[in-house]
Amino acid sequence: MVNLNIKSMRYLSAEDFRTLTAVEMGSRNHEVVPTSMINQIAKLRGGSCAKSLSVLYMTKLIAKMPHMSYDGYRLTSAGYDYLALKALSKRASVYSVGNQIGVGKESDVYVVSDQKGKQYILKIHRLGRTSFRSVKNNRDYLRNRKTSSWQYLSRLAATKEYTFMKILYEHGFPIPEPIDHSRHCVIMEFIDAFPLRSIEEVRDPADLYKRLIDILVRLARNGLIHGDFNEFNIIVHEDGTPVIIDFPQMVSTSHPDAKFYFERDLQCIVDYFQKHFLYEGPVPDFDEIVNMEKENSLDVHVEATGFNKKQAKELERYRKDMEESKNRGELESEDDKEQEEESSEEEEHDEE
């Protein structure tokens, strides 16, 4: 697992930070950024850049690729976390990082606080945590991209989540308020309640069922489908009000597989209520909903405000690859790969 390493965060000098930023900038078109290029971008005097590279390497914010034919570095996930958190703290969205409360398949979730002590959620997207090696041959959609794929995909997922959350929140959907976003990180309101999955009894299953189905229908009437609407992504307040989370899989109702996604979301709720609360309620029909007059075209709106079709396609291809690899039982952990790399780097380091 990639842990959030905040220990080194406060101790970097301005030069170190400048050098780290230079590595990130160079990563846009180099998988491993040549040291000469880092020097050029950072524009530091004398031997400062070499000194900073050594500090960043020791604190594992950058890494060397073993067996590379030229001298260079890549940004590690800790380095990417650092840059995102630094940006969020500069904008006063985060002051301190508290406990990790969730490890999703594709994210780490922490409670964080602002300067006044108000708590928020920090969701760090970590796509590519599994499956990278197994699917990489098929990833032609990333082939022209020199920058590290996991960074790019994680940033894409966070950008998508934040863009959708902004629009949904503005249109009154019951979701956490989105606060800020940088790179692969999203800050949002902390919902201090339990996910449906861990609630044994609900006061009024019929009422909760109706509220959830109404949300699905209203989303569709606004041109959207959640795509992962299940008991883990529904948080329920004590008074029975649901709040929906987790948006990187949203699709438009004009997607060719929209009906499939809508019915899959619907079926999750229908099955869960039947099994856990022995409740069966009315089931809406997708074709009827899309033939109704639309409330809004939020799918189109999203495209115009920060998440375009090309990005949506790249993320979708990745998800399809994941599903296929999973079905073939081919998944392996990217974190394992990173650990392997780091330990072989350490060996190299020891030899030097």
Binding site for ligand ATP (CB under 6 A): 101-102, 104-107, 109, 121, 123, 176, 188-191, 195, 232-233, 235, 245-246
Cα gap 291→270, rounded to integer Å: 23
| Orientation of helix 77-90 relative to helix 14-27, angle to 10° | 120
Q: Least distance (Å) from ligand ATP to the CB of residue 16?
A: 31
Residue nearest to ligand ATP (CB): 104
Question: Of the residues 16, 108, 228, 265, which is catalytic?
Answer: 228
Smallest distance, ligand ATP to C-beta of residue 245, A: 4
DSSP-assigned states of every residue in 195-260: EGGG-S--S-HHHHHHHHHHHHHHHHHTTEE-S--STTSEEE-TTS-EEE---TT-EETTSTTHHH
Between 62 and 167, name the residue whose CB sits nearer to ligand ATP.
167
Minimum gap (Å) between residue 230 Cβ and ligand ATP: 8
CB of 179 to ligand ATP, least distance (A): 10
Question: By C-beta, is 73 or 173 nearer to ligand ATP?
Answer: 173
Q: Find where tokens 């307040």 sit.
A: 237
Residue type, 37: M
Answer whether 105's CB lies under 8 Å from 325's CB.
no
204 catalytic? Reply is no
Residue with tokens 């949300």: 215
Q: How far apart are CA 285 and CA 279, in angstroms?
A: 19
Residue 42 or 94: the one with the smaller Cβ distance to ligand ATP is 94
CB closer to ligand ATP out of 137 and 327: 327
Alpha carbons 317 and 145: distance in angstroms, whole number: 15
Would you please indicate which residues are annotated as catalytic (active-site) residues? Answer: 228
